[in-house]
């Protein structure tokens, strides 16, 4: 149980008048032991060193007098020196379980250090004030990389790392959403005054530069859970499909490391894999849309502030609001008198002499006439020319094979008005044969002209045909170009 023995009033040092100073002392001692460049890195330090650290912190921290004092904290001048107050803070932290005192039996010297719970509860204060860059946005990729390492090497600690990283994904989303909501409330609260609006706008741009670009933009792009969700799901499926020996070794090792998760009839390995899968699904389906909504709401609120700042800036040299405010303070008769006087000064008709320097005589411009009428052009070409043009168009549509000799032969015959039969078309190559096979396409291409048309008939005139042993009978057609009956 947490609240037992010396931890019965664990949080009492942080609820009194000097709570800000106590918190600053804890942070400074934590940095001395674990974080700063001159840290002792977890080694307990002597009392004089602790007092010096606390004295430095007390000089920087204010006294939060909120109207009540607890127990004997009623006198503001109870501490004559900062060293005396540092000793009092040290005794308070030892008494309520934040720090522990260790005595060396050989040298009889006392050393001081954090208790386990004291260190854990001090870490949030350090994280909140830490200025260095954090890599919280890499948890999704770290989950994927740890699962890949576990699949390849079978090291159970890689699986535990993946399980821890997946938990941080959800907690980081919650922290960011809470931060956005808090910043949005601050923006709403600071819009009441122009000075606060300028401060809010500066805070917004500072957030976009120092928080959004290095963290949120990466969380929504490179470390997007939707981007890596399928890969992580695939790795989980591959781990589940491993051979029996691999899973048995992992299960045995997990039961040794996590006996609290071992239950009769259930697998610890399956429990961890299901937990990672569930967290990724919740992060993708619930937390990421919630983050996008919170970010959208925050940017909308910032947009309102920017618009309001622009409006206030544009109204700095505008006296309309001041005039309206002045008129509202007058009586009805005074308002009427003032408005009538303003109306006399703002009358529209005003007779003045024109400045001759601005009088210019402009030369008249002649508009250019454009002939837009269209000529049908039927009288420009004779019947033979139009016949030849139509034949070329039809042949372009009918003959897809590029054979210039055959095209020239049929063009000359049809343009002269003669009837031509497929018997008369010379076939000397494969291209000629393909062209003759497409000759019937003239009928399908007909209709391009409103003046001419093709007459296509079956050629049943008796002629001698030599059998070449391949074709026994050949069908022939005649083509004739005639003028349509009007």
Judged on CB neighbours under 10 Å (0-12, 13-18, 19+), 307 is: exposed
pLDDT at 132: 44
pLDDT at 39: 53
Question: Where are the extended beta strands (E) located within 193-307?
Answer: none
- Give per-residue burial for 120-137: e unless 16+ CB within 10 Å, then b: ebbeeeeeeeeeeeeebb
- Nearest of 459, 458, 451, 450 to residue 483 by alpha carbon: 451
CA distance 213 to 211: 6
Helix (H, G, I), strand (E, B) or coil at 176: helix
pLDDT at 273: 92
Is beta strand 452-458 parallel, antiparallel or unpaired with respect to 477-483?
A: antiparallel
- Nearest of 255, 233, 252, 236 to residue 244 by alpha carbon: 252
- Nearest of 138, 130, 128, 96 to residue 114 by alpha carbon: 96
| Residue indicated by tokens 């070329």 | 392
Dihedral sign from CA coordinates of 18, 24, 28, 34: positive
Helix axes 404-415, 430-437, angle to 10 degrees: 40
CA distance 26 to 35: 13
Q: What are the structure tokens assigned to 116, written together?
A: 């386990």
Is 90:50 a contact under the CB 8 Å cutoff?
Answer: yes
> How many CB atoms are closer than 10 A to CB 161?
18
pLDDT at 318: 65
Is 387:415 a contact under the CB 8 Å cutoff?
Answer: yes
Per-residue pLDDT of the chain (486 residues; tens, 9 = 90+): 667 767 777 888 888 888 888 888 888 888 887 765 555 554 567 888 888 888 888 887 766 554 444 444 444 557 788 888 888 888 888 888 888 887 766 667 778 888 888 888 888 887 766 544 455 557 888 899 999 999 998 899 999 999 998 888 887 778 777 777 777 777 666 655 555 566 666 766 776 666 666 666 666 665 577 778 888 999 999 999 999 999 999 999 998 888 888 888 888 999 999 999 998 888 888 888 888 888 888 778 777 777 777 776 666 666 777 788 888 888 998 989 988 888 887 776 667 777 777 777 777 777 777 766 665 555 555 777 777 887 787 777 665 555 565 667 677 777 777 777 877 777 777 667 767 776 666 666 555 566 777 777 777 776 655 655 665 667 777 877 777 775
Helix (H, G, I), strand (E, B) or coil at 33: helix
CA distance 280 to 285: 8
**Helix%, strand%, coil% for the chain, nearest 5:** 60, 5, 35
pLDDT at 49: 85
Q: Write the Ramachandran bin of 150: left for phi over 0, alpha for psi from -120 to 50, otherwise beta.
A: alpha
Q: What are the structure tokens assigned to 18, written together?
A: 């000097």
């Amino acid at each position: 149980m947490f609240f037992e023995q010396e931890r019965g009033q664990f949080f009492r040092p942080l609820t009194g008048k000097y709570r800000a100073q106590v918190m600053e002392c804890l942070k400074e001692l934590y940095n001395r032991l674990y974080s700063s460049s001159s840290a002792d890195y977890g080694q307990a330090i002597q009392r004089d060193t602790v007092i010096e650290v606390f004295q430095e912190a007390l000089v920087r921290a204010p006294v939060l007098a909120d109207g009540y004092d607890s127990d004997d904290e009623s006198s503001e001048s109870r501490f004559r020196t900062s060293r005396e107050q540092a000793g009092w803070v040290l005794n308070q932290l030892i008494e309520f379980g934040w720090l522990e005192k260790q005595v060396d039996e050989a040298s009889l010297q006392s050393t001081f250090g954090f208790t386990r719970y004291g260190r854990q509860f001090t870490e949030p204060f350090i994280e909140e004030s830490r200025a260095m860059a954090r890599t919280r946005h890499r948890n999704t990729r770290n989950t994927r990389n740890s699962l890949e390492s576990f699949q390849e090497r079978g090291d159970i600690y890689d699986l535990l790392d993946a399980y821890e990283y997946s938990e941080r994904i959800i907690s980081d989303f919650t922290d960011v959403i809470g931060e956005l909501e808090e910043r949005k409330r601050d923006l709403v609260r600071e819009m009441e005054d122009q000075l606060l609006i300028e401060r809010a706008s500066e805070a917004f741009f500072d957030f976009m530069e120092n928080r959004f670009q290095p963290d949120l933009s990466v969380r929504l792009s490179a470390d997007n859970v939707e981007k890596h969700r399928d890969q992580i799901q695939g790795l989980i499926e591959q781990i589940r499909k491993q051979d029996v020996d691999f899973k048995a070794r992992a299960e045995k090792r997990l039961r040794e490391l996590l006996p609290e998760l071992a239950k009769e009839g259930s697998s610890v390995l399956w429990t961890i894999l299901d937990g990672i899968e569930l967290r990724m699904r919740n992060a993708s389906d619930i937390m990421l849309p919630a983050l996008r909504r919170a970010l959208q709401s925050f940017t909308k609120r910032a947009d309102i502030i920017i618009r309001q700042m622009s409006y206030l800036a544009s109204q700095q040299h505008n006296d309309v609001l001041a005039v309206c405010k002045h008129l509202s303070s007058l009586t009805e008769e005074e308002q009427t008198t003032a408005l009538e006087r303003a109306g006399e000064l703002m009358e529209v008709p005003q007779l003045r002499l024109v400045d001759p320097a601005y009088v210019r005589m402009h030369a008249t411009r002649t508009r250019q006439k454009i002939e837009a009428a269209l000529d049908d052009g039927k009288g420009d070409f004779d019947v033979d020319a139009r016949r030849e043009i139509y034949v070329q168009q039809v042949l372009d549509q009918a003959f897809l094979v590029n054979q210039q000799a055959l095209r020239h032969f049929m063009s000359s015959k049809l343009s002269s008005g003669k009837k031509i039969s497929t018997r008369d078309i010379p076939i000397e190559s494969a291209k000629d044969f393909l062209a003759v096979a497409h000759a019937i396409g003239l009928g399908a291409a007909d209709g391009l002209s409103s003046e001419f048309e093709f007459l296509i008939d079956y050629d049943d005139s008796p002629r001698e045909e030599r059998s070449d042993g391949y074709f026994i009978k050949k069908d022939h057609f005649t083509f004739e170009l005639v003028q349509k009956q009007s």
